Amino acid sequence: MLAGDPTIKSHVPLLSMTQVCRHWRKVAIALPMLWTSLYPTMSVRDVARSLRRSNGLPLDFTISGIQGTAGHWEHFHEHIGRCKRIAIKDIPPEWIADLQPWLDNPAPLLEELVLSAVPSQHPISSDLDLTFFDQTTPLLYKVRLDTIILPRSSFHLLLNITHLEFSFGHGPKIGCQIPSHRYILDLLSCAPLLQDALIERYGTEHLPYFRTYPPDYTPTRVKLDHLRKMCVQGMAPIELGWMEYIDIPLNCCLKIGIDLAHHQNLAPLLALLDNPSNGLRPLLRVQETMFTGSTSPGNPNARANDRDKLGIHLWDPNSQLAVGIVFRSPQSREQTELIMWMMSMTLFRRYTPRCLAWSTLNSRFVMGPGIYIRVLMNHTTISDLAFDDCHFVTDALKLLVASERSASNYTGPGTAVVCPNLAYLALSRCRSLPGTVLVDLARARDVRGKTLRKLRIKECDSVHRRSVADFRWLVEEVEWDGETEWDGFSTMADMDPDDARDLLVDMDKVDEDGDWETVDHGDEYDLQESNGSDEEETRDRKKQFGSLANQSVETFTERGRRHGVARSLVSDSGE
């Protein structure tokens, strides 16, 4: 007998341990923990047998309004006091009033409660007078409500919980199951210890929207001092008004998901983000912004529901996600760029961005570097830039180079430099980016006396060793994932002899064949004449010469990989 849900299909065939042999039958019967999970697919006889063999251990009892029989409900009602987890699924919402006789016993061991209903057009009132479990659930910490409106009289279940999942609106014609702004605020206000909250709406293409506040109702602020993570998804922007009346901690991670296929009016969302008096305090601590897409030629195995998502993520100085806003199913590239522009103008009024990253943005989302340059020109405080799998990176960097050169040639008033404080540049999976563009950018910055502090390159196939060697003369620190295969040397004509002071060569000791060897002894260097004429040894010596010319450069390290490719690019920028 497997300790798993038999209703979940698996490629592994289930085998009853009690039917293998007499020995395994005794083993299975002697282990009460194997008999603590009860499901509606089990017969009443099997339920009774499991209750007997579980030997008084806490139960995981799942009961269904479709598959269950009166015998199942009787066993359930009798053993509520033993239940550690209760899941009541597939019941019509109007049955909520009929559940009280079956849920009137105390549940001192209950830790998790799941109430899930099927779509229905029959309205239910949130003002019903219902109490469950005799108001005795001291250990309850997790509640999940799916397509069901819990009466306010039953909110006593939420007093001690730390995890809440509230999903609604499943199925067509569900106007009667849509809650109101007031109901969500009341729901949250009765869970003062809440740490993790998920509020999700299904079927956003169906009207109506949330019911508004009653004329005589004045919303009161809800303080969630213990909240660590909150996810709000599937709602229309106009349905996010209740978020203006919640106060969340500064270290809370907030995620908002919006379906653009049916709700394209972003004004309510922008008003929510731009309002300095609301409770979105995480916006005050972020310093880094990432615009990211979900479609990429390099990820053909992405799930269908993960594609066509434009995300705007805000990170704090410790590389922790503070706010994430995801727009699903953008209708056009023009709409995507408009969203980027509006969101940047709104969000950057709340804080001063320092880092800007763009990840997995191809022609499906953006038409070119225009939107990128527009964002940079309006926010001169940005010092760190990162690109991850972006098709427009070459054109964007060329525009930066043109801006640097124009500023170098003309220093009068009105000369604008795009991203004048650029100090850190990270590139990942930009396979079509030529190294010459990076050299031009670094040289233009160096001419203006604004040398790049750090350049990081990873999985950029068109960037070769010669370009990386040139970077080292123009950038303070260079990290390149091709360091292990390094065998080149700089070809810059204007190299400074002082930069090569660690390499001393006495040309008088070079033999007629040009074979020589350098040996580094710290402060003293000797040139030893080579006696061998083997071609392989000659190549090794030349490689050693090239490596000595760059021996003071720090090689590529693996730090920053903990947060993924795009996160690693930006997380090291503050070191």
pLDDT, tens only, 352-369: 889 999 998 888 888 888
Residue 376 has pLDDT above 80, yes or no: yes
In a domain, 319, yes or no: yes
At 549, the pLDDT band (50, 70, 90 cuts) reads very low
Q: Are 510 and 477 part of one and the same domain? A: no
In a domain? residue 303: yes
Per-residue pLDDT reduced to its tens digit, 313-327 = 999 888 889 999 999
CA distance 358 to 392: 10
536 versus 62: the higher-pLDDT residue is: 62
| pLDDT of 83 | 93
Provide the total of helices (H) and of strands (E) in the chain, helices listed first. 12, 21
Q: Do residue 491 and residue 509 come from a single domain?
A: no
Taking residues 44-72, report their average pLDDT.
88
- Asked if residue 47 is part of any domain, the answer here is yes
Share of the chain above pLDDT 70, in %: 72
* pLDDT tier at 214, thresholds 50, 70, 90: confident
pLDDT tens digits along 158-179: 999 999 999 887 555 444 567 8
From 144, 161, 178, give the residue that closes a domain.
Answer: 161
Is 377 a member of any domain? yes
Q: Does residue 181 surpass a pLDDT of 50?
A: yes
- Which residue is listed with tokens 């930066």? 400
Q: How many alpha carbons fall within 13 Å on the CB side of residue 112? A: 11
Q: Which of 406, 384, 383, 385 is CA-nearest to residue 396?
A: 385
Q: Using alpha carbons, select from 106, 244, 126, 253 the residue that is nearest to residue 177.
A: 126
Task: Confirm whether 202 is domain-assigned.
Answer: no
CA angle at 514 for the pair 513 and 520, rounded to the nearest 5°: 140
- The answer to whether residue 411 scores a pLDDT higher than 70 is no
Q: Tell whether 32 and 62 lie within a shared domain.
A: yes
Read off the DSSP letter of residue 14: P
Other C-beta atoms lying within 10 Å of the C-beta of residue 329: 13
Does 35 lie in the same domain as 147? yes
Residues 337 and 449 in one domain: yes
566 domain residue, yes or no: no
Q: Give the end of a domain, one of 499, 526, 559.
A: 499
Q: Which domain holds residue 473?
A: 285-411+418-499
pLDDT over 60 (residue 500): no
Decide: 140 and 113 in contact? Cβ < 8 Å. yes
Q: How does DSSP assign 291-333, residue by residue? A: EE-S--TT-TT--GGGSSEEEEEEE-TTS-EEEEEEEES-S-H
Both 446 and 530 in a single domain?
no
Could you tell me if residue 233 is inside a domain? no
414: region left, alpha or beta (phi > 0 left; psi from -120 to 50 alpha): left
Q: Across residues 373-393, what is the average pLDDT?
A: 89
Model pLDDT, residue 492: 32
Q: Are residue 511 and residue 381 in the same domain, yes or no?
A: no
- Asked if the model's pLDDT at residue 197 lies above 90, the reply is yes
**Would 294 be classed as within a structural domain?**
yes
Instruction: Tell me the residue type at 398.
Output: K
Predicted pLDDT at 231: 95
Q: What is the pLDDT of residues 6-43, one digit of tens each?
A: 455 444 555 666 667 888 888 888 888 989 999 888 88
Percentage of the chain surpassing pLDDT 90?
Answer: 22
Mean pLDDT across 227-248: 90
Listed residues 121, 139, 161: the one ending a domain: 161
pLDDT score for 489? 39
- 453, 476 Cβ separation under 8 angstroms: yes
> Is the per-residue pLDDT at 212 higher than 80?
no
Residues 355 and 334 in one domain: yes
423, 442: one domain: yes
User: Looking at the structure, do residues 399 and 520 belong to the same domain, yes or no?
Assistant: no
Q: Give how far the C-alpha of residue 289 lies from the chain's centroid of Cα atoms, to the nearest Å.
A: 12
Read off the pLDDT of residues 425-480 as tens digits, 9 standing for 90 and up: 999 998 888 888 999 988 888 877 788 889 999 888 888 888 888 888 888 888 88
For the stretch 56-66, pLDDT in tens is 899 999 988 87
C-alpha 235/C-alpha 454 separation (Å) is: 42
Token pair belonging to 3: 């300790």
Average pLDDT, the chain: 76
24 and 152 assigned to the same domain: yes
pLDDT band for 85, please (50, 70, 90 cuts).
very high
| Contact (CB, 8 A) for 233 and 200 | yes
For the whole prediction, is pTM greater than 0.95? no
**Residue 195 predicted with pLDDT over 90:** yes
What is the reported pLDDT for 250?
Answer: 87
Question: For residue 360, which amino acid is it?
Answer: T
In this structure, are 401 and 512 located in the same domain?
Answer: no
With beta carbons less than 8 A apart as the criterion, state whether 261 and 309 touch. Answer: no
pLDDT per residue as tens digits for the range 103-121: 888 899 999 999 988 776 6
Report how far residue 15's alpha carbon sits from residue 20's, in angstroms, rounded to the nearest whole number: 8
pLDDT, position 314: 93
Residue of 228, 395, 318, 201 lying closest to 573 (CA atoms): 318
- Return the C-alpha torsion angle 394, 400, 402, 406, nearest 10: 180
pLDDT bin (cut points 50, 70, 90) of residue 575 is very low
The total domain count for the chain is: 3
Q: 485: domain CATH number?
A: 3.80.10
